[in-house]
Amino acid sequence: MDISKYIAQKTFTAFNKSLIRNIIRISIINIALSLAVMIVAAATFEGFQKQIAQKVFGFWGHIHITNIQVNRSIEPIPLEDASKYQKMIQDADFSSIGLDKSSIRDIEKFVILPGLVDHNNLFQGMFLKGVDPHFDWQYMEQFIKSGSIPHYEDSVFSRSILLSEQSAKKLDITTGGSLIAHFIINGNQIKRKLKVCGIYRTGLEEYDQKFALVDMRLLQGVLQWTPEQVTGLELFSNRLSDVEKINEFIYNEILPTEIYSETIRSKYPNIFEWLSLQDINKRFILGLILLVCIINMATTLLILILERTHMIGILSTLGLGQWNQRKIFIRYGVKLLVKGMLYGNIIGLGLCFIQWKWKFIKLSEADYYLDHAPISFNPTLLIFLNLVFFITITISLLVPSYFVSKIRPVNALKFRA
C-alpha cells in the first residue's frame, strides 16, 4: 500500500478549523472559475476564427483559378474554355496526395466586373460578381435581410441584382427598386437597368460595401464574352485542411502554365493575418489565467502545510521519508484540483451552451464581423485544455511541497496550529 496515499485519504477531511475550510472552498471556487473562463475563452476564440473564415470562404470559395495575366491588367482578362478546366479538375485523380474526388465539394464559374451604380443621382462604385445560373445559394440565404435570392432561368439571363445592406442605404433603395449600372468597356460607356431582388448582409463590411451579385451571363454580354469565357473558377473544398494540398496539385499537375491557381488565404491575406493574431491574444489570456490558478494552488498548499506542521513532525519521527510526506500534500492539492475542475467544466460548458443557444452576448458587427460572440464546441480542444490545466498545475505543486523538507521535526513537534 502507498502510505502517502493512505494518509492523504484519511487526513484530508480532518481540517477542522473554519478558516482552513473556507480557504479550501475559495481555492476550489478559484480553480472552477479559472477553468470555466479558459473553456469559454478558448471556445469563443475558436468560434470567432472559424465563423469569420467560413464567411470569407463561403463568399469566395477556397481556391481561385484565373488567367495568369489577371493581376497584371486593369482590363478584364477571361479564362478561356472554363468548362474544360472545370471537368479536368473534377475528373482528376488526387490519390497521389492522399485525397479522392470527394475532397472537392463544388467548382463554380464567376465573372467580376467593376462598375458605377446609380439610383436617383446617388452613385456608388462597386464590383459586380456574376454567378452561374446553377450557383448554390444555400450559403447566401442565411444573410438575406429583405427580398430573396435571385432566380435564374436557363433560357435567358436575369437582370436581378442582390445588393448589400450598406450599398442599399447609400443608394437609398429597397427591394423591388430599379437602378442603373454603368460600365466602361473599350472606352465606351454601357448601361444596364437592374432590379434589386434582395438585400444581404454578411457582416464582412469591406466585402459587403464593394460587391453585389448578378447573373454571370449579364456581365458576359456587357464584356462581349462567350459562355465559356469567365473571370475564373472558384473551388470549394470539403475540408479546410486539404486546401493547400489541393491547390498545389492543381497548379503543378493539372493546369497549363498560363493558368494560375491560388488559395483565398494568399489572395486576401489581411483578414487571415488578423485572425492569426488572435492566437497570440488567446495564448496570453489562457496563460495568464493558468498562472493565477497556479499561484492560488501554491498559496493554498503552503497554508495546508503550515496547518499540518505538527503532523509532519510526527511522520518524520516515525521515519517517513520527505518525498512521501511531500506526496501527501501533493495529493491534497490534486484532490482540490479535480473537484474544482469538475465544477469548472460544468460552469464553462454551461455558459458556452447558453451563449450558443441564445446568443446573449452581442458584438458590433462593423468591428468584429459578427453580431454576437460565437461559440465552437471542439471535444479535442476541451480534452487538451483539461489535460494541460491538470498536468501544469499538478507539476507546479512540487514547488510548494518542497517546503515540507525544510521543516525540522523538533520544531514541528512543538508547533500547534
Do the strands 160-164 and 188-200 form a parallel or antiparallel pair, or are they unpaired?
A: parallel
Cell of 270: 489581411
Domain boundary (202, 228, 256) is at 256
- Looking at the fold, whether 50 and 188 belong to one and the same domain comes out as no
Residue, of 295 and 19, whose pLDDT is higher: 295
Contact predicate 167/199, CB 8 Å: no
Tell whether 250 and 326 lie within a shared domain.
Answer: no
Partners of 106 in the beta sheet? 236
The residue out of 256, 287, 321 marking a domain boundary is: 256
Has residue 220 been placed in a domain?
yes
Q: Is residue 312 part of a domain?
A: yes
Question: Higher pLDDT residue, 267 or 219?
Answer: 219
Cell of 165: 445592406
Per the CB < 8 A criterion, the answer to whether 329 and 301 are in contact is yes
Q: Provide DSSP, 225-242.
A: --TT-BSEEEEEES-GGG
Does a structural domain hold residue 266? no
Asked, for residue 267, whether it belongs to a domain, the answer is no
Residues 282, 374: Cα–Cα separation, whole Å: 15
Q: Is residue 264 part of a domain?
A: no
Q: Of 211, 235, 270, 201, give the one whose Cα is nearest residue 55.
A: 201
Structural element, H or E, at residue 199: strand 188-200
pLDDT at 200 over 50: yes
Cell of 101: 474526388
pTM score, whole prediction: 0.88
The residues facing 115 across adjacent strands are 126
- Residues ≥6 apart with Cβ < 8 Å to 274: none
Tell whether 262 is covered by a domain.
no
Q: How far is it, in rounded angstroms, from Cα 397 to Cα 254?
A: 58
Q: Same structural domain for residues 246 and 312?
A: no
Same domain as 196, residue 78: yes
Quote the pLDDT of residue 319: 82
Q: Are 163 and 212 in contact (CB under 8 A)?
A: yes
**What pLDDT does 20 receive?**
83
What are the tens digits of pLDDT across the range 345-395? Answer: 999 999 999 999 999 999 988 888 899 999 998 999 999 999 999 999 999
pLDDT in tens, 79-106: 999 999 999 999 999 999 999 988 999 9
Straight-line distance from the first to the last Cα atom of the chain, in angstroms, rounded to the nearest whole number: 29
CA angle (407, 408, 410) in 5-degree steps: 140
User: Which domain-ending residue is among 208, 228, 256?
Assistant: 256
Mean pLDDT, rounded, for 232-240: 95
pLDDT band at residue 417 under the 50/70/90 scheme = very low
Cβ 271 vs Cβ 278: under 8 Å: no
Residue with cell 441564445: 358
Cβ contacts of 144 within 8 Å, gap of 6 or more? 198, 199, 200
Count up the domains in the chain and report the number. Answer: 2
Please give the Cα distance from 181 to 128 (Å, whole number): 9
340 shares a domain with 252: no
- What number of other Cβ atoms are within 10 A of residue 96's Cβ? 9
On average, the pLDDT of the chain sits at 92
Structural domain range at position 187:
69-256
Q: Residue 313: is its pLDDT beyond 90?
A: no
pLDDT of residue 1: 55
Residue 62 domain-assigned (yes or no): no
182 shares a domain with 77: yes
Cβ(80)–Cβ(406) below 8 Å: no
Res 144: pLDDT:
96
